[in-house]
Amino acid sequence: MRGVRADAHTEPAWRAGRWSRSHVQDFPVKLPAEVRVRAPGHRAAITTIEGALDFIDRHLPAELARLSRWTFARALFLEAQRTGKSRDLNAALRQFRQALSNERWLEEDEGAKS
């Protein structure tokens, strides 16, 4: 058929051009696993990309926010938000957890320590 892409039925609607990208961003994107943070003055359970970006943008001191581990985590979350791919989301989550761990702000489960 003319004007219809063969792969349109397998692609997300926004990628196939049926929705605008801004429409997709209206929905919070859940992380594959909750991340528990215990930063000075901020304890939280982060469950979405938006929550992770908010933490990086609002709760990191400026000197930490400039470090590559944090700028990389932020860039990976933005890419995961843009693409909607689980592999991008997993990479962003891994980097975010590593950055939190480096600051000793990652709250690990007691069961995971043994």
3-state DSSP percent of the chain in helix, strand and coil, to 5: 50, 15, 35
Q: Identify whether the C-beta of residue 46 lies closer than 8 Å to the C-beta of residue 34.
A: yes
Q: pTM score, two decimals? A: 0.73
pLDDT at 6 over 80: no
- Per-residue pLDDT band at 111 (split at 50, 70, 90): very low
Asked whether residue 36 is assigned to any structural domain, the reply reads yes
Residue 99 is which amino acid? A
Asked whether residue 58 is assigned to any structural domain, the reply reads yes
Asked whether residue 1 is assigned to any structural domain, the reply reads no
Find the domain containing 82 and state its range.
Answer: 21-108
> How many distinct structural domains can be found in the chain?
1
- Per-residue pLDDT band at 26 (split at 50, 70, 90): low
Of residues 31, 46, 37, the one with CA closest to residue 90: 31
